[in-house]
Structure 1
Amino acid sequence: MQKRLQYKYLIFREFYYAGSLSCAELSSRIGKSIPLTTQMINDLIDEGIVEEGGLAPSNGGRRPAMYSVKPDAMYVVAVAMDQMLTRVAIVDFHNKPVGAIVQEELLLANNPNALPQLKTIIEQAIKKSKVPKKKILGVGIGMPGFIDARQGINYSFLSNEHHSITAYLSSALEVPAYIDNDSSIIALAEHRFGAAAGTRNAMVVNLGWGVGLGLVLNNQLYRGENGFAGEFSHIPFFNNNKICSCGKKGCLETETSLKVIIDKAEQGLKRKGSTSFLKKNFRTGAIEKDWQAIVKAAQSGDEYVIRLLTAAGYDIGRGVAVLIHLFNPELVLLSGRGAQAGRIWQAPVLQAVNEHCILRLAENTAVKVSQMGSRAELIGAAALVLENLVRARSREAKKMLV
């Protein structure tokens, strides 16, 4: 029974990533025989989960039947968190949200009630969606902080007295819940669905209120020994005496985060001679709204804003040059909320890479800007559920063999 369930989740995961597959393709992807795969597909068709969707394009031989999971057969709750805002989307099996994405202010720092507040936000989103809980595979949550995903603990935020956040939420919501660092799941989304798909070694830079990093090494998401790999924000780069959110001074984040860019924009507008599409009172106090004003100004060709982004991009590029020397990646991808500003980031990052990187390394590394933008974390949170369901069943199956 456990083994069958393990195979079922393997099949769900492969359909989730591929969309539709023939029996032979699915058999190859899950490493099981065609007779067993055929039987599993037929069982899932009988259960009303999988459907046949026509024939594959002709390649000269007999065209195989293609199968996919019905979009409304099951759902996933995807949660994207930063230190101030939480977004929740209930998505079908084709990653399409059911209704509007819920967005709520939820301060993580110095907030002992953050975890029960998160639970309430997710509960209300599920209730509003009217999706039956029996159809929800799980809740995937991306969040900032030092996270041990295996234990379900965030050592930076959502204090639960060092108990498992995932255990608390799974019990309270009555569906499996999983957490991971926001930059790691952004890398997962990009590796499975975005510009990093098909790459074996990629560095995914999360441009946000900090500057995170997700690492794809040898075709696998790399999290480090305890899940803390990728703290790109906190590499000491500057002698600016500015205190970082981590408590140290001169970190990369202190000159390049989106929050710092907003601060610099506000300060510059107060100086005489600074002209911009941004209004003099553009700083509203709503950080997401302020960032969207920066994006709109940049896309309108605002020279002042473009200079700010270019300066930050160059400094990020200096950090990227270090990554290239250490990891020799095929791709460096700029993703996350900041990627909404588009290709403006690309030129200064490349300039810094060309100036600070050994040519032989730099010329073999592409630098791109993601098209996913702020959607990446939600997509990665949904994928996190499928990844964990497969791992959980695999662990259970191994226990039964002991």
Structure 2
Amino acid sequence: MKNKKPKYSAIHLDVIKELFYIKSATSAELSLRLDKSIPSINKVIADLIEDGYVAEKGLAPSSGGRRPLMYALVENKSYIIVIAMDQLSTRIGLVDLQNNEAYTAVSLEIDLIHDDEALAKLISAIENYISDSKIPKSKIMGIGIGMPGFVDAKKGINFTYLKPQEKSLANYLSEEIGIPTFIDNDSSLVALAEHKLGDAAQQKEVMVINLGWGIGLGMIVKGELYRGYNGFAGEFSHIPITEKEILCSCGKQGCLEAVASLLAVTNKAISGLEAGKVSSLRNPKHYHSKINMSNAILAEANHGDQFSIELISESAYDIGRALSILIHIMNPQTIILSGRMVRAGRIMLAPIQQALNKYCIPRLFAGTEIKLSNLGFDAELIGASILVIENLEHLI
């Protein structure tokens, strides 16, 4: 049997991608961005209008002469399920082709480390969410999942978590749910979101730090997401940062994750409160889970609780030490702080700067800017939508 000829050419897919990222554009703007002739762009737009993917969106602002038509993707043509996972919690959302929230995102606890039923719980949660959304599966283009661990995005395998027998995780989820599914490392997706839609959009050398239960790194090098030789670049969490014998989840001691991650901060808070530390934080048992406890620490720090501020500041100082190593190696233009901990990001900036002043060669650091993500905690969900869009050739 001969392979069926794809319905859309690469230019068709590129136009859809560009409109997903920039919301709307004239054919002349698309021609310039994609380096294609205006007649070829007009032909592609006509095809996509006929198939219901693109619609006219009024006239562009006048710059003299006839005002050109604007084009945008049709929001409800298709939808994307977006999922952001960390070691303890999972968020599931639904966006349309304008990357607008189409159904309220939900959060649930799924313990990737200790729960043998984690994969079954994930599938059940996705199925229930789709059912609750009332969006038929036929209108869902794909599922994008960001998750921790060593992830081979091309093969759809997570070598650390959720390892079904005999199949890649992406293929297993696709078959079980009935929707094409793509997975990638959480920090890579955060960096992808910053690169396409955030502060790294116009920059070539950017390091994106994903601050959560671990401390991930996504690298934009020469304007592209850098994955390294076998796709596992960016394991920032496991830089050895201390001689203290503190066991890390990787099995080694003294890693950055073990002393400075949000999980480490939460564990220190629990120990401190049990030892009688004065704080506006309540007894750890009140919060019922480390997720709730961590949320309280971030909130109380922003409300001025000294103990919470001290914990986050200590963490930030160690992160700054690790960043000095990164700056010495990569000499980035910008470092963007993203992820769960960015909700207390302003508290972190001063101790990070203090550590950089102490450990970093001034000439190397002079041109590097430290910024808080403008995408915030939603960066991974945004990256999950981009993951699906970047795989359009497998979908339409």
Q: Report how far residue 58 of structure 1 moved.
A: 2.8
Q: Which residue of 2 aligns with 1:170?
A: 174
Q: Report how far residue 3 of structure 1 moved.
A: 6.4
Q: Which residue of 1 aligns with 2:287?
A: 284
CA distance in 2, matches of 1:97, 1:304: 36
Q: Which residue of 2 aligns with 1:275?
A: 278
Residues 23, 72 of structure 2: 8 Å contact kept: yes
Correspondence 1:355 to 2:396: no
CA distance in 2, matches of 1:282, 1:36: 63
Cα distance change on mapping 1:240 and 1:11 into 2, 3 Å? same
Q: Which residue of 2 aligns with 1:315?
A: 318
Q: Report how far residue 389 of structure 1 moved.
A: 2.0
Deviates more, 1:231-240 or 1:132-141: 132-141
Residues 69, 93 of structure 1: 8 Å contact kept: yes
Query: What amino acid sits opposite 1:215 in the alignment?
Result: M
**TM-score computed with the length of structure 2 as normaliser:** 0.94
Residues 337, 345 of structure 2: 8 Å contact kept: no
Cα distance change on mapping 1:282 and 1:198 into 2, 3 Å? farther
Residues 338, 373 of structure 1: 8 Å contact kept: no
CA distance in 1, matches of 2:34, 2:115: 43
Residues 88, 291 of structure 2: 8 Å contact kept: no
Residues 155, 162 of structure 1: 8 Å contact kept: no
**TM-score computed with the length of structure 1 as normaliser:** 0.93
Cα distance change on mapping 1:165 and 1:353 into 2, 3 Å? same
Cα distance change on mapping 1:10 and 1:174 into 2, 3 Å? farther
**Map 1:288-367 → 2, pairs under 5 A:** 288-367=291-370
Instruction: Note the residue ranges of structure 1 that are not aligned, 5 or more in a row.
Output: 397-402
**Map 1:4-83 → 2, pairs under 5 A:** 4-83=8-87
Q: Which residue of 2 aligns with 1:219?
A: 223
Deviates more, 1:71-80 or 1:369-378: 369-378
Query: What amino acid sits opposite 1:128 in the alignment?
Result: D
Cα distance change on mapping 1:28 and 1:172 into 2, 3 Å? farther
Q: Report how far residue 160 of structure 1 moved.
A: 1.5
CA distance in 2, matches of 1:243, 1:162: 32
Q: Report how far residue 26 of structure 1 moved.
A: 1.4
Cα distance change on mapping 1:318 and 1:247 into 2, 3 Å? same
Query: What amino acid sits opposite 1:216 in the alignment?
Result: I
Instruction: Note the residue ranges of structure 2 that are not aligned, 5 or more in a row.
Output: none
Correspondence 1:94 to 2:98: yes
CA distance in 1, matches of 2:210, 2:379: 10
Q: Which residue of 2 aligns with 1:147?
A: 151
CA distance in 2, matches of 1:300, 1:111: 34
Residues 299, 341 of structure 1: 8 Å contact kept: yes
Q: Report how far residue 282 of structure 1 moved.
A: 6.1
Residues 144, 182 of structure 2: 8 Å contact kept: yes
Partner of residue 107 from structure 2, selected from 103, 108, 111: 103
CA distance in 1, matches of 2:90, 2:322: 28
Query: What amino acid sits opposite 1:302 in the alignment?
Result: D
Q: Report how far residue 247 of structure 1 moved.
A: 0.4
CA distance in 1, matches of 2:57, 2:79: 20
Percent identity over the alignment is 46
Deviates more, 1:246-255 or 1:64-73: 64-73
Query: What amino acid sits opposite 2:100 in the alignment?
Result: K
Q: Report how far residue 295 of structure 1 moved.
A: 1.5
Q: Which residue of 2 aligns with 1:121?
A: 125
In structure 2, the residue corresponding to 1:199 is in which secondary structure?
A: coil
Q: Report how far residue 75 of structure 1 moved.
A: 0.9
Query: What amino acid sits opposite 2:148 in the alignment?
Result: P
Q: Report how far residue 188 of structure 1 moved.
A: 0.7
Cα distance change on mapping 1:215 and 1:283 into 2, 3 Å? farther
Correspondence 1:247 to 2:235: no
Residues 183, 213 of structure 1: 8 Å contact kept: yes
CA distance in 2, matches of 1:29, 1:365: 28
Residues 339, 371 of structure 1: 8 Å contact kept: no
Residues 189, 379 of structure 1: 8 Å contact kept: yes
Aligned residues: 392
Partner of residue 236 from structure 2, selected from 232, 238, 241: 232
Q: Deviations over 1:183-222 (max 9, x none)?
A: 0001111111222221111110110001111111111111
Deviates more, 1:2-11 or 1:246-255: 2-11
Query: What amino acid sits opposite 1:10 in the alignment?
Result: D
CA distance in 2, matches of 1:387, 1:360: 38
Query: What amino acid sits opposite 1:292 in the alignment?
Result: N
Residues 153, 162 of structure 1: 8 Å contact kept: no
| 4+ long deviations beyond 6 Å | none
Q: Deviations over 1:131-164 (max 9, x none)?
A: 1222222110000101111111111010123631
Residues 145, 183 of structure 2: 8 Å contact kept: yes
Cα distance change on mapping 1:214 and 1:198 into 2, 3 Å? same
In structure 2, the residue corresponding to 1:88 is in which secondary structure?
A: strand
Query: What amino acid sits opposite 2:182 in the alignment?
Result: Y
Q: Which residue of 2 aligns with 1:263?
A: 267
Q: Deviations over 1:104-136 (max 9, x none)?
A: 222212444332332222122112111122222
Residues 266, 283 of structure 1: 8 Å contact kept: no
Deviates more, 1:378-387 or 1:43-52: 43-52
Q: Report how far residue 278 of structure 1 moved.
A: 1.1
